[in-house]
Structure 1
Amino acid sequence: MARSVSTGNALVPGEDGQLGAFDVVIVGGGAAGITVAAGLRKYSRGGRNLSVAIIEPSDRHFYQPGWTLVGAGVFTMKQTERPEASLIPPGVCWIRAAASAFEPERDRVTLPNGMHVGYRALVVCPGLQLNWSAIDGLTETLGRNGVCSNYSADHAEYTWRCIQALDGGNAVFTQPAMPIKCAGAPQKIMYLAADHLRRHGKLRDVGIDFMLTGEAIFGVPFFVPPLLATAKGYGIRLNYRHTLTAVDGPARKAIFSVTGADGAVSELVKPFSMLHVTPPQGAPDVIRNSPLANEAGWVSVDPATLRHTRYANVFSLGDAAGTSNAKTAAAVRLQAPVVVRRVVALLTGGPATATYDGYGSCPLTTEYGKVLLAEFTYGGKVEPSFPLDPRVPRKSNWLLKTRFLPYLYWNRMLRGSEIDIPHKPRRFEDAR
């Protein structure tokens, strides 16, 4: 089992307040942190010992790509959860606390109780911040009054109850400004809700609205036509430049700020029977307020090497990294080996050649039993892993989404295995 350190009483700091020093300190014990730690431990087992610590406050670890399926009644939340202690690799020190400050000039991280953790190399991957309170009235009504969100472990199962209860009125789904975690998630659950209504003969009785802050249904143009066709097939109304600003749960009303084509801003009050909210998201405050941040608040890294642009012994990956790739677990799967190799090269003086090409994957659930698999690299370049036209929703992709990818995550990725089906540019005829 992982060695767990309680920062309250297990270790006594020295005169300088130092809790300990490690070859590598990883801030964040989510998908990125565990995968990097497992990769580093595999390297250490080869006879090159590295001391590694993970700073992570939560005792629960979630497979977040499964939360769309939780909200659609396919998975239970329990199926997406594991104890954090069971996933931290043997030999890795688990410091159960949050990072409260970064001091890269002194090669240390500060904890909430004032203790410091020193490092030779730092890997920053605490995820992103969900800004629920940015929407007036949301926190008071989330999880009741028909207001749900698959972005919350506590409320994703309520989404399924809301979908089952729909028999009239309006179902409203929101998407805030980018970047967000899994940009396709806000519409995935919308399509599954529409398909559920269709299968139960209720689709004509329920109006469905997709309210987007942006001006496109998806950020990669190649996939926009099939997604527009999917929305049209369900009769979904697309409302661009609509930003959710407030929710009145008891009255079942959502308030949107609407930006017209001429730039004029107005307010729209939208009644709802069900409201699925994707909250605004951003870099964690601890990063935004640190020397590590770029102008947007994310960790400033080179997009190919994932190495900090100013501090040579600092790396970042996952949602917190200031890169333009999609913020998905698929991205982490290919980022982690790059960071592991770069960190090892830094500490041993070996060659550093591994690079990341911006790969991300978004399995878009267009109905129960079918998934459109969008794969792309930096710049929205379409680079599928398979020779089939990725614009076509397929049953095989549903099996990939519901069975293979969860297995890959828990049993291979988080254990440091580097299994990958090579993606590459492919040519496809125009969709018919």
Structure 2
Amino acid sequence: MLSSLSRPLSRSALRGFATVASANPADKYKVVVVGGGSAGMAVTAQLARDPLFKGKKDILVVDPSAKHYYQPLWTFVGAGLKPFSDSEKPMSELVPEEAELLQKRVTKIDPENKVVLTDGKEIKYDFLVVASGINVDWDKIPGLQETLGKDGVTSNYSAESVEKTNEFIRAFKGGNAIFTQPATPIKCAGAPQKIAYLAEEIFRQNGIRDKTNVQFHTGMGKIFAIDKYAAELTKVCQSRNIDVNLLSNLAEIRPDRKEAVFKNLGPQGGEKTIKYDLLHVTPPMSAPKFIKESGLANADGWVDVNKETTQHNKYSNIFALGDSSSLPTSKTAAAAAAQSAVTSHNLLSTIKAAKETPSTYGGYTSCPLITGRGKLILAEFSGYTGQPQETFPFNQGKESAFSYYLTSDVIPAIYWHGMVKGHWTGPGSYRKFTNPLSSN
């Protein structure tokens, strides 16, 4: 995903890392990677290790940001369990020496051979990787932009407001605490409800739970897509008196009256207006506009690729992975890790015109569902089959302290030192050893 804009680094801070080509990028590169998020960084690092690129700077990563964020950590930040600084690193530290980083925004892609930047400059490519992430549509909910970070309205999906979430939760004195999830595809699909569980726990600790009505509103028809985990999450909500409202989509915020308007997406239709004292919003999301306008997209706006090989269905020199791709699975960093190995292998085979059997992606993704401090349901599954693909020899659908520790401390380290450095592509190859008796 494209990282949020931030202040550029000084030249002294860039020594030993990738060249920042903001001023004078070359006119053409062997590979251009659009997007410096989880997916883009992972593929770039894997490509850079191949002898084809040794001693060259023939890979260009285009991303407008100076900071790279590990966004799955923002649930912990929003609950005061981790500092925000743990979730960020300079982009330049992650781009390998064989590549260049261009801190510009892509506004158009010519599928034949070039990308166009906001300043009008054209950069040609032989091969293109699109990993530009998902667009967060703050403007699609009237009243959200002007009130975000104020008067109890917050979101863990923004670098600017995630710390406000913790501030508002800690200062909460009772009333309606509302947490929302839109009907659109989103990144980290479990995050909207995870913060509800952590907030509810804090309300109990602060002695105000009896004065608090915790509500979770989702535009989806289920609390979670995979039945095994949905059943356990439903039990958690029932045991903790969290009011779950399905097919209830946030349509408008009226900050002057502290009201949230929800549209019922069920057959009965209609709207419901609810007073809020705390409102955590997960905004609707969509494919980036420039993808829709570049002739690369399917009918829904995502880069139209083969779901097994990640290669574009029309242009053989273009690949896509991560949140902006059409791969029909949950949009998570875990999915991007697994996809990156397939993309880099198949792209290198295409570049070298090697007659190899393509590497294939089976839809693996993971969603660590934090239900409280020290408690977590570790959902692992294929988005293609809907079946669990659990890595450990215990029932990951149950709350576990081990799964919590793995998510809070181990996986972030794997991310920074493994995934974005090209050394970690998911647990698939280890599963036959870690969970040999599993049928999933």
Same fold by TM (over 0.5)?
yes
Aligned equivalents of 1:150, 1:47: Cα separation in 2: 40
Q: Which residue of 1 aligns with 2:9?
A: none
Query: What's the TM-score once normalised by structure 1's chain length?
Result: 0.93
- Alignment partner of 1:269 out of 273, 281, 287: 273
Q: Is 1:99 aligned to 2:115, yes or no?
A: no
Residue pair 1:27, 1:123 contacting (<8 A) in 2 also: yes
Residue pair 2:57, 2:97 contacting (<8 A) in 1 also: no
- Alignment partner of 2:239 out of 233, 239, 243: 233
Q: Which residue of 1 aligns with 2:8?
A: none
The DSSP-based 3-state class of the residue aligned with 2:179 is strand
- Alignment partner of 2:180 out of 174, 179, 189: 174
Q: Which residue of 1 aligns with 2:350?
A: 346
Q: Which residue of 1 aligns with 2:406?
A: 400
Residue pair 2:155, 2:280 contacting (<8 A) in 1 also: yes
Q: Is 1:165 aligned to 2:171, yes or no?
A: yes
Aligned equivalents of 1:268, 1:333: Cα separation in 2: 40
Q: Which residue of 2 aligns with 1:370?
A: 375
Q: Which amino acid aligns with 1:403?
A: D
1:13-412 alignment to 2 at 5 Å?
Answer: 19-44=26-51, 51-105=58-112, 107-260=113-266, 263-350=267-354, 351-377=356-382, 378-412=384-418
Shift of 1:264: 3.6
The DSSP-based 3-state class of the residue aligned with 1:295 is coil
Aligned equivalents of 1:182, 1:288: Cα separation in 2: 22
CA deviations on 1:248-301 (whole Å, 9 max, x unpaired) are 2232111111234xx242121110110000000010111122200000000000
Runs of 4+ in 1 over 6 A off after TM superposition: none
Aligned equivalents of 2:300, 2:167: Cα separation in 1: 37
Q: Which residue of 1 aligns with 2:18?
A: 2
Query: What's the TM-score once normalised by structure 2's chain length?
Result: 0.91
Aligned equivalents of 2:213, 2:279: Cα separation in 1: 12
Q: Which amino acid aligns with 1:87?
A: L
Aligned equivalents of 1:345, 1:61: Cα separation in 2: 29
Identity of aligned residues (%): 37
CA deviations on 1:207-259 (whole Å, 9 max, x unpaired) are 01111111110011121110000011110111112111111223211111123
Residue pair 1:145, 1:250 contacting (<8 A) in 2 also: no
Q: Which amino acid aligns with 1:360?
A: T
Shift of 1:427: 4.9
Shift of 1:391: 1.1
Residue pair 1:25, 1:123 contacting (<8 A) in 2 also: yes
Aligned equivalents of 1:271, 1:115: Cα separation in 2: 49
Give me the CA root mean square deviation. Answer: 1.7
CA deviations on 1:91-123 (whole Å, 9 max, x unpaired) are 211121111111112x11111122111111100
Shift of 1:28: 0.3
Aligned equivalents of 2:231, 2:349: Cα separation in 1: 44
Quickly say closer, same or farther: Cα 1:111–1:183, change in 2 above 3 A.
Answer: same
Aligned equivalents of 1:317, 1:327: Cα separation in 2: 10
Shift of 1:414: 1.1
Aligned equivalents of 1:185, 1:147: Cα separation in 2: 16
Q: Which amino acid aligns with 1:353?
A: P
Q: Which amino acid aligns with 2:292?
A: R
Q: Which amino acid aligns with 2:193?
A: Q
